[in-house]
């Protein structure tokens, strides 16, 4: 994970300076990403649930279909958001999109409205399909890593509450030497 963070920090290092319009949007909830603030001369905008994040989600709740609702908080104000996409992990994606919206001049209210109507753009990323016989299928097979599998299993536990559930998991094939420990981590989640 450290090697991935180091490689990704090269993107942050390559940004133009703040004086030249560079903006680095960094996840305040991930220490490896938050540390990238030290390697850029761009303006740093932090997002997350952490109290110190410049753009954050407060009062987060989830419905029975695992869609998140929260209050979007920015330096300019706050507004309610009700995501249409599945999974609490989508809050981080929404906050990053909010930071981009803010950077291009959208108001907090405009951002909240856009986030509340956004739908998934890619197939196989937390697709929820209701099948005959009361069966709910969650297809999150686009690309697997420990975080995405954990998020999908968390969603399954919420959507499938009180129901018999099965998880069919693919191989996390792009993790190099971390592959075995990542699979062990996901296996350990079965009783969590």
Domain coordinates in residue numbering, the chain: 2-117, 127-191
Extract the tokens encoding 16. Answer: 């133009």
pLDDT at 192: 58
Instruction: Please determine, for residue 117, whether its predicted confidence score (pLDDT) is greater than 90.
Output: yes
Q: Which of 17-21, 149-153, 184-188 is predicted with the least confidence, judged by mean pLDDT?
A: 184-188
- The string of pLDDT tens digits covering residues 87-97 is 999 999 999 99
Q: Work out the average pLDDT over 22-26.
A: 97
pLDDT at 190: 67
Instruction: Please determine, for residue 72, whether its predicted confidence score (pLDDT) is greater than 90.
Output: yes
Task: Output the pTM of the full model.
Answer: 0.84
Angle (deg, nearest 10), helices 146-159 and 179-188: 20
Number of H helices, E strands in the chain: 6, 7
- Protein fold of 2-117: 3.40.1190
């Amino acid at each position: 994970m450290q090697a991935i963070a180091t490689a990704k920090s090269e993107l942050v290092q390559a940004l133009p300076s703040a004086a030249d319009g560079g903006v680095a949007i960094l996840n305040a909830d991930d220490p490896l990403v938050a540390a990238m603030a030290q390697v850029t001369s761009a303006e740093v905008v932090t997002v997350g649930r952490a109290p110190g994040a410049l753009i954050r989600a407060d009062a987060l709740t989830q419905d029975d279909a695992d869609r998140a609702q929260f209050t979007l908080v920015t330096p300019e104000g706050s507004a309610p958001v009700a995501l249409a996409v599945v999974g609490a992990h989508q809050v981080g994606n929404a906050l990053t999109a909010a930071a981009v919206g803010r950077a291009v001049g959208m108001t907090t209210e405009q951002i909240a409205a856009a986030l509340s109507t956004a739908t998934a753009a890619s197939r196989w990323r937390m697709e929820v399909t209701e099948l005959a016989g009361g069966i709910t299928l969650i297809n999150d097979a686009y690309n697997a890593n420990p975080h995405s599998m954990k998020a999908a299993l968390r969603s399954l536990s919420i959507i499938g509450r009180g129901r018999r559930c099965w998880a069919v998991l693919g191989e996390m094939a792009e993790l190099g030497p971390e592959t075995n420990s990542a699979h062990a981590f996901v296996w350990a989640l079965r009783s969590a």
